[in-house]
Homo-oligomer: A and B are copies of this chain.
Amino acid sequence: MVHLNNSLSDEEFAHKDDYKALVRVAILLNSESNLDHLLDLIISESNRLLEADRTSLYLVDYESNEVYTKIALGVDGFEIRVPLGKGLCGTVAVTGETINIREAQSDDRHAGDMSDYITHTLLTMPLRTHSGKIVGVIQAINKKTGVFDARDEEILAAFCGLAAVSIENATLRRDIERMFNSFVVTMAKTIDARSPQTSGHSERVAQYAKKVALQLGMMSDQVRLIELAGLLHDYGKIGVPEAILMKPGRLTEEEWVWMRSHVVQTREILSNIYFIGDLNRIPLIAGQHHERVSGKGYPLGLPGDKIEFEAKILAVADVFDALTYKRYYRNPMTADEALDHLTSLIDIEFDETCVNALKEVIARDGPPLNTDFDPDAIRQAHILGALKTA
């Protein structure tokens, strides 16, 4: 580790401007919530602060006991994995020491260059969080002027502390979002699986709706909103009796009343969820997926200009999936037949922009593959099977 030694000249140590720059870097790193972007930023900022020719960032994988890197500035992206304790980075990840090599070509600790690139100077330091956990290793290579000196060690040590906590936070946030998303997907699947006819329906609707949103050039936050609304649009079916959901034939008018009630239930149930920011529009949007631009949809019969645009996307995605998927009482339509049907109802039931965007999506990605269901599946086997195969 770095020890300050007052007998050395001031020039070798960090200055006020270095630390001032580090404070700005701290804000920059902590403002980046996307983990991949953050890792890129850490590499480019440390490379700049140390005036290195290139810098690598290794993360520690405590499950496989390896350090790994996907990115190295100046090298084409490929994944390198090294066991903990092996090589310079694998060693630093275990011991937590700083290794500063002034001529790698004559140093046994340097494992040799893997390409034509020749390494001379090397500064390797652990990324240690506030609680002491080593989450990764930074390696700066070939300082552009001279060797990595005491000032570089001091600055990199401070930088590593900032970078480590940023990585820890961004990782945790990504993991919490993954947990939430996997929960929503799993729940949607289990609710769909109460009827073989609708198995996988919500996931497919979410995917169609997401693709339509992307096709229409929507921003990532809005795309995520639409995808989640797609996954959740039939949540209310949990309140519809199985006898109706699983009926092997057409429904009576009374049964349709029950069936239609799922939209109201979707909206009311979802209203109990504490959605963040714009996601709080999900109950509204999901609750309008059976509204139609003619005003003859349900539950409210809203005129077209009162229907949320995202709900119009859901409506198209929902009906397309229903038409192209087998029902007890009819075979699936082809994608073309379904798109023709949607087109014939433009400005009557569906929004033109949404139908056209779906056409482009299907033209590009092809028609849905599996449109059959297993009518003999018992519900339990079906639910578990739906989870396993999807």
B-binding residues in A (CB < 8 A): 14-16, 19-20, 22-24, 26-28, 30-31, 33, 129-131, 158, 161-162, 165-166, 168-169, 172-173, 175-187, 189-191, 193-194, 235, 238-243, 258, 261, 265, 268-270, 272-277, 279, 379-380, 383-384, 387
Docked pose: A270 CA to B185 CA in angstroms = 11
**When the two chains form their complex, are residues B179 and A276 in contact, meaning their CB atoms are under 8 A apart?**
yes
Given contacts A22-B19, A26-B162, A190-B238, contact A182 B380 (CB under 8 A): no
**When the two chains form their complex, are residues A242 and B242 in contact, meaning their CB atoms are under 8 A apart?**
yes
**When the two chains form their complex, are residues B190 and A27 in contact, meaning their CB atoms are under 8 A apart?**
no
**When the two chains form their complex, are residues A169 and B30 in contact, meaning their CB atoms are under 8 A apart?**
yes
The 3 closest A-B pairs by CB, nearest first: A19-B19, A31-B130, A26-B26
Given contacts A19-B22, A31-B131, A265-B380, contact A274 B182 (CB under 8 A): yes
**When the two chains form their complex, are residues B26 and A183 in contact, meaning their CB atoms are under 8 A apart?**
no
Main secondary structure of the interface of A (DSSP, over half): helix
Docked pose: A276 CA to B172 CA in angstroms = 8
Docked pose: A223 CA to B26 CA in angstroms = 33
List chain B residues, Cβ under 8 A from A24. Answer: 161
List chain B residues, Cβ under 8 A from A243. Answer: 242
CB distance from A6 to the nearest CB of B (A): 14
**When the two chains form their complex, are residues B182 and A183 in contact, meaning their CB atoms are under 8 A apart?**
no
List chain B residues, Cβ under 8 A from A258. Answer: 380
List chain B residues, Cβ under 8 A from A31. Answer: 129-131, 165, 168
**When the two chains form their complex, are residues A238 and B191 in contact, meaning their CB atoms are under 8 A apart?**
yes
Q: Which of A16, A181, A242 has the most CB of B within 10 A?
A: A16
CB distance from A11 to the nearest CB of B (A): 14
Q: Which of A27, A131, A172, A243 has the most CB of B within 10 A?
A: A27
Q: Which of B16, B130, B162, B178 contacts A16 (CB 8 A)?
A: B16
**When the two chains form their complex, are residues A176 and B176 in contact, meaning their CB atoms are under 8 A apart?**
yes
**When the two chains form their complex, are residues A165 and B274 in contact, meaning their CB atoms are under 8 A apart?**
no
Docked pose: A261 CA to B27 CA in angstroms = 52
Would you give 8 A-B contacts (Cβ < 8 Å), ordered by A?
A16-B19, A31-B131, A176-B276, A178-B276, A179-B180, A179-B279, A186-B269, A268-B387
Q: Which of A22, A30, A33, A193 has the most CB of B within 10 A?
A: A30
**When the two chains form their complex, are residues A238 and B276 in contact, meaning their CB atoms are under 8 A apart?**
no
CB distance from A8 to the nearest CB of B (A): 15
List chain B residues, Cβ under 8 A from A191. Answer: 238
| Chain B residue with Cβ nearest A186 | B272
CB distance from A9 to the nearest CB of B (A): 15
Q: Which of A14, A23, A183 has the most CB of B within 10 A?
A: A23
List chain B residues, Cβ under 8 A from A238. Answer: 190-191, 194, 238, 383
List chain B residues, Cβ under 8 A from A241. Answer: 242, 379
List chain B residues, Cβ under 8 A from A189. Answer: 272
List chain B residues, Cβ under 8 A from A19. Answer: 16, 19-20, 22-23
